[in-house]
Amino acid sequence: MAWKHLRRFLQGLFVFACLSFPCQARYGGLRGAALRLHKVHDVGGAGVEEQWFTQRLDHFDGAETRVWKQRFFVNDTFYRSGGPVFLMIGGEGPANPAWMQYGTWLTYAKKLGALCFMLEHRFYGKSRPTEDLSFASLRYLSSRQALADLAHFHSSMAAARGLTGSKWVTFGGSYPGSLAAWFRLKYPHLVHASVATSAPVHAVVNFPEYLEVVRQSLAAENPECPLLVQEASDTLYRRLQDPETYVNITKDFSLCADLQIQTKMDIPYFLETVAGNFMDVVQYNEDNREFEGVPGTNVTIKVLCGVMMDASLGTPYSRYAAVTSLMLKTFSQKCLDVSYSTYLKDMSNTSWSGPAAGGGRQWVYQTCTEFGFYQSTDSPNQPFTGFPLQYFLQQCQDMYDASLNATAIADAVTQTNEFYGGYDVHATRIVFPNGSIDPWHALGITQDISDDLPAVFIKGTAHCANMYPARQQDLPQLALARDHVFVLLQKWLQQ
Q: Which CA distances in Å does 448 have to 175, 200, 423?
A: 20, 15, 11
Query: How many degrees, rounded to 5, is the angle at CA 324 between CA 299 and CA 471?
Result: 10
Residue in 190, 183, 148, 120 with CA at minimum distance from that of residue 56: 148
What is the model's pLDDT at position 332? 86
Q: What is the pLDDT of residue 298?
A: 76
For residue 198, which phi and psi values (nearest 5 degrees)? 45, 45
Phi first, then psi, for residue 169 (nearest 5°) are -125, 130
Please state which of the four CATH numbers 3.40.50.1820, 3.50.50.60, 1.10.10.10, 3.30.9.10 is assigned to the domain occupying 51-203+424-493: 3.40.50.1820
- Residue 367 DSSP symbol: I
CA proximity to 210, closest of 302, 309, 276: 276
- Domain segments of the chain as ranges: 51-203+424-493
Q: What is the pLDDT of residue 195?
A: 98
pTM score above 0.85? yes
In this prediction, residue 235 carries a pLDDT of 98
Identify which of 164, 154, 212, 167 has the alpha carbon closest to the alpha carbon of residue 377.
212
**pLDDT of the residue at 331:** 83
Active-site residue numbers?
Answer: 174, 438, 463
- What is the residue-wise DSSP string for 106-174? HHHHHHHT-EEEEEPPTTSTT---SSS--TTGGGG-SHHHHHHHHHHHHHHHHHHTT-TTSPEEEEEES
Report the alpha-carbon distance of residue 394 to residue 426 in Å, rounded: 35
3-state secondary structure of 79: coil
465 near 442, Cβ under 8 Å? no
The upper half-sphere exposure of residue 262, i.e. CA atoms within 13 Å in the direction of its Cβ, equals 8
Question: Number of C-alpha atoms within 13 angstroms, CB side, residue 428?
Answer: 9
pLDDT value at residue 284: 84
- The CA distances from residue 158 to 55, 161, 339, in Å, are 15, 5, 49
Q: Which residues pair with 196 in a beta bridge?
A: 172
Rg (CA), the chain: 22
Q: What are the average pLDDT values for consecutive 10-residue runs of the chain, which has 495 residues?
A: 34 37 36 31 63 98 97 97 97 92 96 98 98 98 98 97 96 97 98 98 98 96 98 98 97 96 96 94 71 59 96 98 94 92 96 96 97 97 98 98 98 98 98 96 97 97 92 94 98 97
